[in-house]
Amino acid sequence: MNGIAEVTVEIVILAMIAAFLGLRLYSVLGRRAEHEEEPIQGRFDNQAGAPGAARAPASRDTAEPQPFNPALRPRDYPAATPIVERGLREIAAADRLFDAFAFLDGSREAYRMILEAFWNGDKEELRLLCDSEVYESFCNAIDARNEAGESLDNRLVRIEDAAIVDASLDAGVSRITVRFRSDIAAVTRDADGNVIAGSLNDAIEAIDVWTFSRHVRSADPDWLLEETDEG
């Protein structure tokens, strides 16, 4: 009996030792797993109370905008030759409100408005958009057309392209030349409305080279058509 009791006591002691070791092992592994789940604080993270600690990076919502890579920034001027770009820069230096892209967009609209005013014989509209010489030229053509009893039934189908081909500043006067490539459906009618030339079904390509001018100190922001030519 004593032998059996001693064996029993040893088994109990060994079981207690095994339980104790298992508990210690579980404790160590458990704590290690908990630490592994915690984010590791890097040297760029903010550490409260640590002198000289680096500031944590701002969140995406609060981060200040960073400057773009200069190589990825849009050009300040529309695509042009170095000579033309130099002229645009001279104009911009004399007139801080000048925007080459805004001018180019405005020139497309002016092109449409002037063509339609001429086709419709609207001299008042032309007076607002053209300088005196170009205005007189348009008026003479309108008068000759009216005397012949003819009218134009033209339509600007689309402006395919508009490009600045020249720019200069002379004695405070800015001059910019734009080359327009457009599709126009042109029809000439007689006094009775009969078509005597052209067709509305077939648009033809037109290339016009127009020069606009404006004094940089003018209170009027509008540019005037100063010269017309065909490309």
Residues 17 and 127 in one domain: no
136 assigned to some structural domain: yes
Q: 122: helix, coil or strand?
A: coil
Q: Is the pLDDT of residue 179 over 90?
A: yes
44 assigned to some structural domain: no
Residues 23 and 89 in one domain: no
216 — pLDDT class (breaks 50, 70, 90): very high
Residue 53 or residue 162, greater confidence: 162
Instruction: Give the full edge-to-edge strand order of the sheet including 224-230.
Output: 155-170, 173-185, 204-215, 224-230
Give the per-residue pLDDT at 200. 83
Residues 219 and 113 in one domain: yes
Q: Is the pLDDT of residue 23 over 70?
A: no
Per the CB < 8 A criterion, the answer to whether 110 and 129 are in contact is: yes
Burial class for 48, CB neighbours closer than 10 Å (0-12, 13-18, 19+): exposed
49 assigned to some structural domain: no
Burial class for 158, CB neighbours closer than 10 Å (0-12, 13-18, 19+): exposed
Q: 198: helix, coil or strand?
A: strand
- CATH number of the domain at 105, please: 3.10.450.240
| Structural tokens at position 154 | 């033209």
Give the per-residue pLDDT at 230. 84
Of 15-19, 151-155, 194-198, the one with minimum mean pLDDT is 15-19
pLDDT of 91-139, one tens digit each?
A: 999 998 899 999 999 999 999 999 999 999 999 999 999 999 999 999 9
Residue-range definition of the domain harbouring residue 168:
80-230
69 assigned to some structural domain: no
Q: Average model confidence (pLDDT) for the chain?
A: 77
67 assigned to some structural domain: no
- Distance from C-alpha of 167 to C-alpha of 83, rounded to nearest angstrom: 8
CA distances to 69, 90, 96, 104, 220 from 78, rounded to whole Å, are 19, 15, 17, 8, 24
Q: 38: helix, coil or strand?
A: coil
Q: Is the pLDDT of residue 158 over 80?
A: yes
pLDDT of 77-96, one tens digit each?
A: 887 899 999 999 999 999 98
Q: Is the pLDDT of residue 193 over 60?
A: yes
170 assigned to some structural domain: yes
**pTM (2 d.p.):** 0.67
Looking at residue 32, the DSSP 8-state letter turns out to be H
